[in-house]
Amino acid sequence: MTADKPSEKEKLALFQQKKQYSETEDTPPSYSDIQPPLQIQEFVFRFAGDRFKAFPSEKSMEIYEDAKKLSRSRKHTAQFFQAKEYQNQSIGLPLLVAQHSSSMGLGETDYLTLFDCKSKPEQPNKLYSKKDDQKVARVHMQSFLGYRRFRIQFAEVNFLVFSHLRHPIVDFNIGNERFRFVKLLNRSEGLSSSVPFLYKIYLLDSHQPSLVDNLNSDLTINKTNPLLGSRTRNFFGRTPRPSEQASYASSFEYGTLEGISGGLFSKVKKCATLRLHNPVSGCHDANDSVDFKAGVFVAVSLVLQTQDMQRDRANAINTMNTVNTTNAILMANNNGAMMNMNMGAF
């Protein structure tokens, strides 16, 4: 009789135990029983031309950047053939590309289009270009009182992602496993000038409520869900109570999504990293080594970065409009005062 495979929570518990244990002693024997073992898998995001690109590693992104510099006139050089060989092995290619859809209207609207990037081995004299992108998923968004629902639609499966508008939490599930992104809100939690945003990712405990629990038949959140709260609190957008904030996390941290300051203006435009405690096999730099579950986390991360960017742009526009309105009022008041002074002189 073969032993049962460890569950995801057991793997995470052993992984965290290993990290603590290895500071003073050797790796616990129980950890070595996990096949393949959990590792920290790090994905890298860059932003350019209103498109987010995700890569399975920093090395993959660097190979991609180097290949872009190869012009058609250099397609018979050793560097060109090396770049083509990498791409044929799914190395040095974006794992997913996200392009925002600017559709407007009520109800569910298009939000993102996700593209897959493939090399064409049958064309030995051609490197990957944007024209080779293939649409693999659509993301639809709908706003409700207190939350937003994102529907990531792949060819054969859909994933629902719920972003709370009052709590800094984003919930979704993959099969029977429920996950949560928790956005940290202040510097005491790890934010700094070099880390503009930081999400911690958790695998929820069985007793913890989630926004994905007991959905209505129309895939909306049931009004009895304790996380949704009262309509009044959601309407006025009141900040969460300390007791509510303490319940966001679970005992199983699955990873992080961390922003990088200045990434939009750097040479390679690296803007974020996603780190997952995940079983990894094969080449860490190859797209083909990324399992579907990790790909879902990458897709959710692209949704969150797009949402945060839109929110930041809206806040900047509102601030600018407020400043312009204030300046216009001050100018009008000054002009009125000058007119009164001039009339008084007569």
Asked if pLDDT for residue 29 goes beyond 60, the answer is no
Residue 128 structure tokens: 């990957």
Is residue 112 within 8 Å of 99, Cβ to Cβ? yes
- Range from 143-147, 262-266, 275-279 that averages highest in pLDDT: 143-147
pTM of the full structure: 0.79
Percent of the chain surpassing pLDDT 90: 51
Whether 46 is in a domain gets the answer yes
Whether 346 is in a domain gets the answer no
Asked if pLDDT for residue 3 goes beyond 90, the answer is no
What pLDDT, on a 0 to 100 scale, did the predictor assign at position 245? Answer: 65
What is the domain extent for residue 135?
8-23+34-303
Whether 338 is in a domain gets the answer no
Number of domains in the chain: 1
CB neighbour burial string for 47-86, b if at least 16 within 10 angstroms, e if fewer: beeebbbbbbbebbbbbbeebeebeeeebeeeebeebbeb
What pLDDT, on a 0 to 100 scale, did the predictor assign at position 84? Answer: 93
CA distance 23 to 2: 32
Asked if pLDDT for residue 204 goes beyond 60, the answer is yes
What does the pLDDT look like over 113-169, one tens digit per residue? 999 999 988 888 889 988 899 999 999 999 999 999 999 999 889 999 999 998 999
What pLDDT, on a 0 to 100 scale, did the predictor assign at position 38? Answer: 74
Whether 3 is in a domain gets the answer no
Whether 291 is in a domain gets the answer yes
248, 232, 273, 311: which is closest to 41 by C-alpha? Answer: 273
CA distance 164 to 161: 10
Average pLDDT over residues 161-186: 94
Average pLDDT over residues 237-242: 58
- Range from 129-143, 250-264, 312-326 that averages highest in pLDDT: 129-143
Average pLDDT over residues 8-36: 48
Whether 343 is in a domain gets the answer no
Whether 333 is in a domain gets the answer no
In whole numbers, what is the pLDDT of the chain averaged over residues?
81
Whether 312 is in a domain gets the answer no
- State whether the Cα torsion 283-285-286-291 is positive or negative: positive
